């Protein structure tokens, strides 16, 4: 068949695709707009977005929610690495129950009509610039830049008071966890318009007792967070394993360094810093906010908020209290609230924590009766008076809120010191020392079968069904009976024992290895039998529990081998508590040498850096705890008499 020239041209054109005009018009059929402009109708506020320039020209993405018709109202800001747009639109509680939402009548912050400001920190989500995890203040050898979260907060507030005419020029800052670290940074050279700061469960000292280490033991379960947070600007990197049980995954991976290599963490600057600084050296000390703020003048009223069962940042708020309260000469600048919560639970519903019932929604009470009047006093133009105690403390056991004039600023109880509770032969525990010669309780700690911190299966931290938020109140009977966990228990109490402060461990122990971890738990044992809540019969509630890595016994900043088979003294503080051991209950102490995989395993052979311990370094060791004689082990309890 002979084709005409016109037919050939037509076929060539078809092969080449539609003409350019047709290609351009295809975009007209896209049903999505290039950029959606959200409407505010029905939400009771006007939403503005600003990319606010910092002193170096970097622009930080900021969402400003202004109640409709507002005039002369205070501004309440939350700076975050967790996506300002998300917090401003979907997160409940203190963050975004904005006027017009279903939760407005439940949220005293919203009811007060504040202008809410949400900002992505430098380098995260829609903000420009570089990102560093909880960086030290500018000018530190570990932050040689000329900016930090304090300068960025100052510059943001300066812009807000000039560009939000609906405000009264008063600004507060509030946030939880990382968002709680940022209100602390705001206290460094604060802007004059900053009138109040509320750090809630703040990240304060990543080595002593918050996210990354506790007394030198690395919190291995936090590796997933590190990957997600630093992997991309959008914080969307997924943690992937072939295991449903973290216990199996971390045990078979080997060292924490091996886990990091398997997940590609060596690409992340913060991971490299962690593995390069396993001891409490200048890297950690210069970033510790309690130490930083201890050197600053006290200019802004602060309410520190602590959770008594904070699974992530249990150390921070009490440490800042100890640093700041001595500066508060008139007792009107530094306040503290402590509730029976997991990390951040004060922003939601809190009538229970795990199996424990508090007989009330403790978080709603706190938000309405403590937080709301505190903020109003500093942010409202008429500065309404507030009836807020210096310390608002929930007393577990008695299950009641207390208004206290003060709280200890030293470890232990009021004025330091406390009452010794002795570990005794035969598993006894009591306030009188054991008689007779030196005796020990022995056990074998084997890194091949470490003691778990949760009943298995230990689901990944952020997996569906994970009990990560409640593990601190899990029933400690889950490890009772293991040969590598030793227990000491009082007789049934006939009188209440009330403690308020920081218990301190005084452990005398030896190990056949050259390094060792020591885990000590102070536990409230519920009555057996048929009285009270039968579902709680015999329950073992951890009141204060923590770990200490033995290589730092002499100096937290320098790792040293432990002398094998020599009884040595170890001293460390347990987390702050405010608890009543009621009549009919018992007090228990458990001692063990692993808490896995919350903390990485100690190989029990001294190596320069445990992150990179080899399989052959992990050896079983015989542990001996002294329970009688002149160096008998004990816990100092901050007993209230």
Please report whether residue 16 resides in a domain. Answer: no
Dump strand ranges (E) for 103-208.
115-120, 167-176, 194-200
Burial-class residue 144 by CB neighbours within 10 Å (0-12, 13-18, 19+).
exposed
Last residue of some domain: 378, 404, 430?
404
Same domain, 49 and 163: yes
Q: Per residue in 463-490, pLDDT tens?
A: 999 999 999 999 999 999 999 999 999 9
Same domain, 501 and 430: yes
Most confident of 139-143, 315-319, 532-536: 315-319
Same domain, 224 and 351: no
Within 10 angstroms of residue 378's Cβ, the number of other Cβ atoms is: 20
Please report whether residue 20 resides in a domain. Answer: no
Same domain, 243 and 343: no
Please report whether residue 15 resides in a domain. Answer: no
Identify the weakest region by mean pLDDT among 117-121, 528-532, 610-614: 528-532
CA distance 415 to 403: 19
Contacts (Cβ under 8 Å, ≥6 apart) of 34: none
Last residue of some domain: 284, 309, 337?
284
Please report whether residue 385 resides in a domain. Answer: yes
Same domain, 386 and 480: no
Give just the sign of the alpha carbon dihedral 225, 227, 232, 233: positive
**Cis amide leading into 623 (omega within 30):** no
Please report whether residue 39 resides in a domain. Answer: no
Same domain, 554 and 601: yes
Domain count of the fold of the chain: 3
Q: What's 227's domain CATH number? A: 1.10.3020.10
- The pLDDT of 296-322, averaged and rounded, is 98
Same domain, 251 and 365: no
User: Using only C-alpha atoms, what is the Rg of the chain?
Assistant: 28
CB 78 within 8 A of CB 118: yes
Last residue of some domain: 269, 284, 299?
284
Same domain, 320 and 268: no
CA distance 451 to 597: 9
CA distance 71 to 115: 10
Q: Is the pLDDT of residue 462 over 80?
A: yes
pLDDT for position 65: 86
Domain that holds residue 327: 45-207+285-404
pLDDT band at 410 (very low <50, low <70, confident <90, very high): confident
pLDDT for position 37: 76
Average pLDDT, the chain: 92
Q: Is the pLDDT of residue 157 over 80?
A: yes
Q: What's 166's domain CATH number? A: 3.40.50.1820
CB 585 within 8 A of CB 525: yes
Q: Per residue in 337-387, pLDDT tens?
A: 999 999 999 988 899 999 999 999 999 899 989 999 999 999 999 999 999
Query: At residue 470, what are phi and psi to the nearest 5 degrees?
Result: -115, 10
Please report whether residue 1 resides in a domain. Answer: no
Side-chain half-sphere exposure of 341, counting CA atoms within 13 A? 27
Same domain, 381 and 472: no
Please report whether residue 37 resides in a domain. Answer: no
pLDDT for position 438: 97
Q: What's 512's domain CATH number? A: 2.60.120.260
The two structure tokens encoding residue 471 = 């593990």
Q: Is the pLDDT of residue 2 over 80?
A: no
Contacts (Cβ under 8 Å, ≥6 apart) of 60: 51, 52, 54, 119, 120, 121, 122, 127, 128, 129, 152, 156
Q: Per residue in 262-300, pLDDT tens?
A: 999 999 999 999 999 999 999 999 999 999 999 999 999
- End-to-end alpha-carbon separation of the chain, Å? 111
Q: What is the DSSP string of 589-630?
A: EEEES--BTTBPPP-SS--S-GGG--GGG---EEEEEEEEST
Within 10 angstroms of residue 248's Cβ, the number of other Cβ atoms is: 16
- The pLDDT of 165-171, averaged and rounded, is 97
Please report whether residue 36 resides in a domain. Answer: no
Q: CA-CA distances (angstroms) from residue 488 to 345, 498, 618?
A: 32, 19, 28
Contacts (Cβ under 8 Å, ≥6 apart) of 335: 301, 302, 303, 304, 374, 388, 389, 390, 391, 392
Same domain, 397 and 423: no
Q: Per residue in 29-69, pLDDT tens?
A: 888 888 887 666 556 678 899 999 999 999 999 999 888 88
Same domain, 55 and 180: yes
Same domain, 142 and 198: yes
CA distance 174 to 374: 12
């Amino acid at each position: 068949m002979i084709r005409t020239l016109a037919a050939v041209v037509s076929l060539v054109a078809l092969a080449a695709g539609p003409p350019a005009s047709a290609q351009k018009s295809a975009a007209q059929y896209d049903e999505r707009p290039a950029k959606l402009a959200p409407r505010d109708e029905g939400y009771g506020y006007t939403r503005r977005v600003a990319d606010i320039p910092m002193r170096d020209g970097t622009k930080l993405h900021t969402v400003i929610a202004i109640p409709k018709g507002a005039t002369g109202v205070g501004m309440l800001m939350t700076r975050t690495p967790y996506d300002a747009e998300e917090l401003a639109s979907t997160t409940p509680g203190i963050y975004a129950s904005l006027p017009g939402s279903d939760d407005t009548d439940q949220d005293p912050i919203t009811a007060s009509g504040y202008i809410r400001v949400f900002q992505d920190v430098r380098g995260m989500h829609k903000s420009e610039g570089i990102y560093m995890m909880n960086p030290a203040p500018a000018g530190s050898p570990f932050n040689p830049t000329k900016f930090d979260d304090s300068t960025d907060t100052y510059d943001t507030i300066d812009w807000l008071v000039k560009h939000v005419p609906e405000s009264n020029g008063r600004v507060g800052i509030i946030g939880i966890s990382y968002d709680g670290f940022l209100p602390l940074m705001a206290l460094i050279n604060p802007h004059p318009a900053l009138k109040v700061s509320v750090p809630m469960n703040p990240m304060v000292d990543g080595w002593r007792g918050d996210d990354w280490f506790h007394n030198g033991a690395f919190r291995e379960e936090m590796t997933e967070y590190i990957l997600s947070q630093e992997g991309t600007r959008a914080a969307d990197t997924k943690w992937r394993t072939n295991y449903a049980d973290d216990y199996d995954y971390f045990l078979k991976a080997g060292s924490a360094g091996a886990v990091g290599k398997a997940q590609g963490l060596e690409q992340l600057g913060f991971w490299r810093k962690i593995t390069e600084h396993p001891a409490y050296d200048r890297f950690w000390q210069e970033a510790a906010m309690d130490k930083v703020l201890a050197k600053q003048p006290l200019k802004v009223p602060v309410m520190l908020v602590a959770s008594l069962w904070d699974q992530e940042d249990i150390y921070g708020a009490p440490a800042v209290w100890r640093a700041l309260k001595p500066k508060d000469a008139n007792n009107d600048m530094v306040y503290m609230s402590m509730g029976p919560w997991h990390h951040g639970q004060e922003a939601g519903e809190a009538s229970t924590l795990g199996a424990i019932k508090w007989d009330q929604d403790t978080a709603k009470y706190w938000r309405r009766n403590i937080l709301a009047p505190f903020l109003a006093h500093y942010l409202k133009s008429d500065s309404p008076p507030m009836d807020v105690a210096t310390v608002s403390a929930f007393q577990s056991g008695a299950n009641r809120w207390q208004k206290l004039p003060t709280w200890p600023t030293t470890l232990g109880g009021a004025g330091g010191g406390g009452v010794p509770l002795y570990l005794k032969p035969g598993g006894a525990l009591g306030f009188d020392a054991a008689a007779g010669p030196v005796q020990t309780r022995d056990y074998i700690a084997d890194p091949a079968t470490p003691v778990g911190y949760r009943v298995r299966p230990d689901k990944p931290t952020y997996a569906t069904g994970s009990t990560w938020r409640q593990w601190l109140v899990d029933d400690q009977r889950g490890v009772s009976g293991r040969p590598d966990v030793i227990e000491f228990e009082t007789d049934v109490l006939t009188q209440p024992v009330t403690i308020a402060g920081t218990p301190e461990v005084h452990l005398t122990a030896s190990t056949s290895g050259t390094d060792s971890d020591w885990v000590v738990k102070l536990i409230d044992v519920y009555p057996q039998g048929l009285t009270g809540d039968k579902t709680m019969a015999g329950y073992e509630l951890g009141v204060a529990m923590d770990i200490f890595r033995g290589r730092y016994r002499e100096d937290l900043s320098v790792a040293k081998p432990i002398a094998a088979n020599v009884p040595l003294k170890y001293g460390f503080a347990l987390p702050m508590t405010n608890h009543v051991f009621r009549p009919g209950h018992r007090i228990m102490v458990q001692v063990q040498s692993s808490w896995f995989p919350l903390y990485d395993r100690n190989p029990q052979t001294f190596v320069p850096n445990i992150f990179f311990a080899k399989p052959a370094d992990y050896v079983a060791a015989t542990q001996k705890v002294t329970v009688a004689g002149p160096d008998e082990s004990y816990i100092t309890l901050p007993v209230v008499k």
